[in-house]
Amino acid sequence: MKAKLAAKAMAFFLVGAALVALLLFLPAGTLSYPGAWRLMGLLFIPMLILGVLLLIFAPEVLKKRLNAKEKMGDQKRVVGVTGVVFLLGFVLAGLDFRFGWTAVPGWLIALASLVFVASYAMYGEVMRENAWISRTIEIQEGQKVVSTGLYGVVRHPMYLAASLLFTSMPLVMGSFVSFAVFLVFPLMMGVRIRGEEELLMRELDGYAAYRQKVRYKMIPFIW
């Protein structure tokens, strides 16, 4: 079973890396695009390490992370819009480098890179804390409310990590044009949270009490 899961995860990894490379280097018109190499290093090296750790210690979590097929209609639309954001954001970053539309200062690129890495670490911590974490919105058999660690601060730390990760991504690539596009991503997370909370309130025992205890959805002390 692990061998089959490993093969599926590796195929997912290689296809993702190839797609990102095509979306960045083709519009840039060159392989000498430092921002693209920077992003791919920061994105895919930790992804490979995390995938190996999940395969060894939490294969069920890895299996759920590879399942991206949403069942809820509104969430399918969110996934669709998010996919368009990714495609457009990557292509525009490559074009921005090619034609020199904007210039992100070095200190901001460095800061964005730190935020990106920290977000990835948060992403991994959420998966460690919540064995029921999934890429799709669903209630799983035996699922319980998780209220410890980051879940004691906000109710949806995975979406916070993802929002930080993907809004820092265009700055890592060195593109303000792409950054403007990726700002749509946190808004999509807000829509996703609304649908998820409706399901959790309706079908997960103890979630209503947890929501009263942890007041903030995604951003501490704000929302």
Task: List the domain boundaries for the chain.
Answer: 2-213
pLDDT at 29 over 90: yes
pLDDT bracket for residue 31 (50, 70, 90):
very high
Lowest mean pLDDT among 41-45, 58-62, 115-119, 132-136: 132-136
Spell 30-65 as b/e; 16+ CB within 10 A means b. Answer: eeebebbebbbebbbebbeebbeebbeebeebbbbb
pLDDT bracket for residue 135 (50, 70, 90):
low
Report the percentage of the chain scoring pLDDT > 70: 90
pLDDT at 19 over 60: yes
Residue 146 to residue 49: CA distance in whole angstroms = 25
pLDDT bracket for residue 200 (50, 70, 90):
confident
- Residue 134, pLDDT score: 62
- Residue 101, pLDDT score: 97
pLDDT at 16 over 70: yes
Q: How many CB atoms lie within 10 A of CB 11?
A: 11
pLDDT bracket for residue 195 (50, 70, 90):
confident
Instruction: Compute the average pLDDT of residues 150-157.
Output: 90
pLDDT bracket for residue 140 (50, 70, 90):
low
Contacts of 28 (CB under 8 A, 6+ apart): 36, 94, 95, 97, 98
CB neighbour class for 90 (10 Å; exposed up to 12, middle 13-18, buried from 19): buried
Q: Taking Cα atoms as reference points, which of 135, 130, 48 lies closest to residue 56?
A: 48
- Model pTM score: 0.85
- Cα dist. 155→151, 214, 218 in Å? 5, 7, 6
In CATH, the number for domain 2-213 is: 1.20.120.1630
Asked if residues 89 and 181 have their Cβ atoms less than 8 Å apart, the reply is yes
